[in-house]
Structure 1
Amino acid sequence: MKKYAYIGCLGFIAVITTEFGVIGILPQIAEHYKISIDKAGYLLSAFALVIALTGPFMTLLTSGIDRKKIMFIAVFMFLLTGIISSFSPPFWLLMIVRILPAFLQPVYIATALSVAISGADESRKNGLMSIVFNGVAIAMVTTVPFATWIAGLWSWEYSFIIQSVVSFIALITIYFLLPEMPVKEKKSYGSQIKILAQPSFILSTLANFFMITAWFSSYSYFAEYLGKGKGMNPSMISYMLLLFGVIGIIANWIAGKMLNKNVTRTMAFFLSGTLLVPILLYLSDGNLWATVVVIGVWGFLYSPSFLNASTYMISSAPDALEFANSLATSFGNLGVTLGTTIGGWIIITKGVEYTPWIGFIFGILAFLMILIRSILEKRNQQFSTCHN
């Protein structure tokens, strides 16, 4: 049902606003706590690391619980995080409250996707999934830049107040508009875990991991890169986040349509940005309008990455949708962790202008995984044709 997909999308906006809303205010947080930018980046990488390490297990453990309850509890945790963070607690406490909702983030995403496509025809499933994933792009165009703009206007704590408001709206919507959804038939752990032994699933997982690492080596430091690498002020950076998100919404809609036709080609098309964007950013140099155009291209090719990664992984394990998607979320966030960590190290040792080139290297690795999976599947197809 489309209604369920839109409810899932709203909750996703809350989730993404909390996870990535910190990107635009990392320089301010670093200044407030008198720490380096790479240390402030732990707020993003630690969050992502918890998701990466616990996501699949949490999804398996909660697979028998009523879906409405799971979605409600997950968003409630995000609300709690925003409220406590807005009081600018000591950095160690800020880290703890940032990490807590991370345990339920992949559970929320997997559940929201499964609720959205429940009872839908095969031909409509990718379209409904793209509605849920539009929460990423909508957050990038509304709440994330707005929170960054408000933080620039007053202080970084106000960014977390915006995050709390978004989470509260999502919580009320889930409570009143989503019916009780008990799980009728719980799949056995064994039937879900067996996908881990499938070569095509392993290659899809690695493609996802390398792709997200590629994007987040520079995107995690978006504000820092545009500030120090391109000389933009906080207000201009919030406008760039806005542009990034507006184009991202269009990109997600287009990706949803393209995925219905060919999953692998769609994945490869948007992945090409990891190779193209570093070159374009280098060529744009100090030219403001050229940089604005490149940010538009960046936003278009980056935004559907989570949707593409999930669909690509699920396409190799259609019988274990929720578990496959939780693994997509986990390995995607492992990519966020690695990309943020390497990006922070490069900023400290070389300079922020070098971060996009990390993406270039990991982008090539992701393309390699896609190529190997395609060759493997073609061989399997030929083998089964010969023996039929």
Structure 2
Amino acid sequence: MKKSLLTLTLGGLGIGITEFVMMGLLPDIAKDLSITIPQAGHLISAYALGVVIGAPLLVAIAGSYPPKKILMALMMMFVAFNALSAFSPDYTTMFIARLLAGLPHGAFFGVGSVVASRIADKGKEASAVSLMFAGLTIANVIGVPLGTFIGHNYSWRYTFVIIVVVGLITLLSLKLWMPALPATKDRDLKKELGFFKLPEAWLIILMIAIGTGGLFSWYSYIAPLLTDVSGFSADSITYILVLAGLGMLVGNFIGGKLADRFSPAKASVSLLIAMAVTLFIVHYISTNQVLSLVMTFITGAVAFALAAPIQMLMIKTAKGSEMLAASVSQASFNIGNALGAFLGGLPLAAGYDYTSPVWVGTLMALTGAVFAWMLIARNKRMALAV
């Protein structure tokens, strides 16, 4: 692996831990800050809101600077705001800290995706992008379980200190190993924002926000699904989530290779259909513990295989606006996070069992596949018209 790509993997690791570890730390944070669990849950929403706001905004502001400087500045923000989280004395401060910590998330992946595709060997651009997203999957395999363990047994604040340390190591690696790629010359922000006038752009945004929401309809309620339906003990959930993380790790690299071998659009539509099929299967096998474990791994793999193809699809669609578009895909992914969790919870609120969210996830994945198919059809029509 190129050292320059390793720096992006490290950044993805830190970002992945700070995003996903909150789910496991909610009871500890709620107890320490004297708030309710639902109030603590708002801290997750605050981070997602920060991603949606910061992704396009920071890239629009900083896009004229050299990529290395942008990435280092974003990682400095990451370190500062996670340090604020570690030392937050009350709920209000913690909410603000989480909102601010989310700001550099999408911009880092947006700029990092473009950088990875530029420094990659020809024909392996998507595989290079998948190396960056590997940090997110490693976070789910190692970082999140470790951070949750430390939070439960010592203090959740120590977990955020570890996140800060990862951020500082990333910052140092960026300074030492990231090549000084030139800034975009003669940048025209108004022209870049014209990306949002493209029908293709909105098809991709809808594909991501709705299609990847299928993952979160399943993943948001995986713990009660495994305990109440599959019959696993609560103590075993952490280890099963590691299994899901391993699936994500494997799927991430498979997705990169698929996008390189075929096309990002074809890989995206195929993987969204595959996600719908796996979620459909999950509904019917969840009462069997062995099959539940198998499908936890497979579903994690299929869902996260979408990361690199989606990012490359954005980059290839947005000629001249690559960084902005790639950051928007991250904002869309976080909208999918919130949308999947919300819609997946509706049948539960109506009194259905914990297998019902996967039906919602199946429909969301299929809807995403429809938008991907519409994009492919539109591109074919435009090619014939030329």
1:114 aligns with 114
Q: Distance in 1 between matches of 2:92 and 2:234?
A: 26
2:13 aligns with 13
Distance of aligned partners of 1:89 and 1:353 in 2 relative to their CA distance in 1, 3 Å threshold: farther
Q: Is the 8 A contact 2:208 2:310 kept in 1?
A: yes
Name the aligned partner's letter for residue 115 of structure 2. Answer: V
Compute the displacement of 1:280 (Å): 2.6
Q: Is the 8 A contact 1:55 1:327 kept in 2?
A: yes
Q: Is the 8 A contact 2:207 2:367 kept in 1?
A: yes
1:100 correspondence with 2:100: yes
1:175 aligns with 175
Q: Where in structure 2 are there 5+ consecutive unaligned residues?
A: none
1:361 aligns with 363
Q: Distance in 1 between matches of 2:204 and 2:106?
A: 18
Name the aligned partner's letter for residue 380 of structure 2. Answer: K
TM-score, normalised via structure 1 length: 0.88
1:374 aligns with 376
TM-score, normalised via structure 2 length: 0.88
> Which runs of structure 2 are paired with 1:191-340 in the superposition (5 Å)?
191-233=191-233, 235-262=235-262, 263-340=264-341
Q: Distance in 2 between matches of 1:23 and 1:270?
A: 26
Q: Is the 8 A contact 1:30 1:36 kept in 2?
A: yes
**Residues 53-109 of structure 1 deviation map (CA, whole Å, 9 limit, x = unaligned):** 342122111102243332223223333343343456422322211110222222211
> Which runs of structure 2 are paired with 1:55-204 in the superposition (5 Å)?
55-87=55-87, 89-120=89-120, 122-154=122-154, 156-178=156-178, 180-181=180-181, 183=183, 185-204=185-204
Q: Distance in 2 between matches of 1:154 and 1:233?
A: 23
Instruction: After superposing the two structures, state which structure 1 stretch, 253-262 or 26-35, moved more.
Output: 26-35
RMSD: 2.7
Instruction: After superposing the two structures, state which structure 1 stretch, 264-273 or 156-165, moved more.
Output: 156-165
Q: Distance in 2 between matches of 1:77 and 1:348?
A: 38
Instruction: After superposing the two structures, state which structure 1 stretch, 310-319 or 296-305, moved more.
Output: 310-319
Name the aligned partner's letter for residue 377 of structure 1. Answer: N
Distance of aligned partners of 1:50 and 1:194 in 2 relative to their CA distance in 1, 3 Å threshold: same
Corresponding residue SS for 1:123: coil
Q: Distance in 2 between matches of 1:324 and 1:236?
A: 40
Corresponding residue SS for 1:6: helix
In percent, how many aligned pairs have the same letter? 25
Q: Where in structure 1 are there 5+ consecutive unaligned residues?
A: none
**Residues 271-303 of structure 1 deviation map (CA, whole Å, 9 limit, x = unaligned):** 134422333322223332221111011111112
Q: Distance in 2 between matches of 1:137 and 1:330?
A: 18
Q: Distance in 2 between matches of 1:171 and 1:229?
A: 44
Q: Distance in 2 between matches of 1:298 and 1:187?
A: 41
How many residue pairs match? The answer is 383
Q: Is the 8 A contact 1:24 1:223 kept in 2?
A: no
1:341 aligns with 342
Q: Is the 8 A contact 1:77 1:101 kept in 2?
A: yes
Instruction: After superposing the two structures, state which structure 1 stretch, 227-236 or 253-262, moved more.
Output: 227-236
